[in-house]
Amino acid sequence: MAKNNRTSNRRLSVAIGFISVLVVACWHLPSFDQPLERKTLDIKMRYLSTAPPSSEIVHVDITDESLELMGRWPWPRSKLAGVLEILDEAGADIIALDIEMPEPQAVRFISDKTDPYFPPREIIAADGATDVTAVFDDSMLAEVMAKSGKCLMPMHIDTGSPRNLSDRNRQLEKLFSELVTVDIILSFDESRSKIPSELIEDCRNSDPYSIPRAYLRQRALIALERFALEDDKLSNLHIRTGAIIPPLATLIQTASQSGFVTVDPDSDGVVRRIPMIMKAGGRCYPQFALAIAIKSLQREHGHCTIQADADGIELKFADGLERDIPVDDQGSMLINWILPKTQEASGPLHISVKQVADIWQDR
C-alpha cells in the first residue's frame, strides 16, 4: 500500500513538474500573453480614471455634411487653405493639419469665379484664356500656411521594406541632395542643369516624372531637417528606424513644425501604443502629437530640450517647466484609446469643416 502511494505521489510530482514547465514555456512564447495583456489594458483604460481631454483642443472633423457641401474627398487644397485661413483669423494658437500630402495636386482650370472657397485675390488667370481660370491649389495652401506661421504638417516614416530604387534613380537623388543642401533655393531647372545629361536622359526614358519627383523629395527632406531632435540625448532608447515619406516640398517649407504619424496596430487592429520618437535618414523626429504639445508649451515656457532616461522621455523648458512622458525601451507610449466612462459626456470639443466653411461663405 505504501509502495503504491509512493508511486502515485511520484507520478503526480512528475505531472505537476511537466505542466509547470509547459506553462512557463508557453508564457514566454511571443504571442501567448498578448491577448491577456490587451484585455487587461482595455479594462484599465475603460474603468480607471485618466487625465481628461484638454478643453483647449478643438477637433475640426470632415463629416458627411462637410462632404455634401464641399464635394467628395480629396478636396482641392485651395479649399483647405480657406479652412486654415478662417481658423487663423478665429484666433487658433496652433493649427495642426493632420492630413498627409506627399504628392502635388494638378493645376485645375475653372470657369466659375464665384466659388466662395477661392478668394478673388488668389485666383491666377491662365495665359491667353478669356473664360477660364487656372487654380494652383498647392501654391494657395502654401501661401496661407506661410502667412499664418502656425501650421503644423505631418510626415510618414515607413518601417517596411526599403525603397525600391534603381541605381540611376538612387544616383539622381544623391546628386539632387548634394545640390539643394548647398543651395536650398536652387530651382529645379538650375539643379537639373548641373546633373550629367546622360543620367537625366536615362531617367527620363525610364520615367519622365522621376526627375522632378527626386528633386522635390530632396527639397522636402532638407526642409524637414530643421524639425529633427538632438539624438545624442536620446541614446537610452532603442529607437525604431525607417524611411521618410515627406510632405510636398512646397508645403513643408512653410510649416512651422512637423512630426511623423506612423502607428503599428496590435494584432487585433487596435492602436494601444504610439512611438514618440523614430529615426530616419540618420536623424530623430518626434511623433506628430508630441510635436504639437512641444510647440504649444513653447509659446509660454520657451525653448524645449528633450532627453531620454530610464523612466522615459523628459521635456525641459527654458523657464524651468518639466514634463515626463512614460515610454517603453523602444520609445512607445500607451495611449488612451478608450474614453473612460467618467469622461463619455465630456470628451474633446468637435466642430465640423462645414461650420468653418459656413463662416467663409458668410464673409
Residues of the chain with pLDDT > 90, as a percent, come to 45
- The whole-number pLDDT of residue 19 equals 58
- The whole-number pLDDT of residue 295 equals 94
- The whole-number pLDDT of residue 12 equals 58
- The whole-number pLDDT of residue 4 equals 55
Higher pLDDT among residues 149 and 309, named by residue:
149
Give the predicted TM-score (pTM) of the model: 0.81
pLDDT of 170 > 60? The answer is yes
- The whole-number pLDDT of residue 124 equals 46
Rounded CA separation 223/246 (Å)? 9
Higher pLDDT among residues 6 and 192, named by residue:
192
- The whole-number pLDDT of residue 45 equals 75
pLDDT of 331 > 90? The answer is no
Higher pLDDT among residues 239 and 25, named by residue:
239
- The whole-number pLDDT of residue 125 equals 47
Higher pLDDT among residues 146 and 116, named by residue:
146
- The whole-number pLDDT of residue 16 equals 62
Tell me how many degrees the CA angle 216-120-72 measures, rounded to the nearest 5: 65
pLDDT tens-place string over residues 221-236: 999 999 999 877 777 7
pLDDT tens-place string over residues 185-223: 888 999 999 999 999 999 999 888 899 999 999 999 999
- The whole-number pLDDT of residue 29 equals 47
pLDDT of 174 > 90? The answer is yes
Handedness of CA 232, 291, 51, 98 (dihedral sign): negative
- The whole-number pLDDT of residue 126 equals 46
In this structure, of 125-139, 319-333, 348-362, the range with the lowest mean pLDDT score is 125-139
Local confidence band at 349 (pLDDT 50, 70, 90 cut-offs): confident
- The whole-number pLDDT of residue 262 equals 92
Mean pLDDT, residues 107-117 taken together: 62
Higher pLDDT among residues 161 and 186, named by residue:
186
Residues of the chain with pLDDT > 70, as a percent, come to 80
pLDDT of 8 > 70? The answer is no
Mean pLDDT, residues 280-300 taken together: 93
Mean pLDDT, residues 268-291 taken together: 91
pLDDT of 116 > 60? The answer is no
Average pLDDT of the residues of the chain: 82
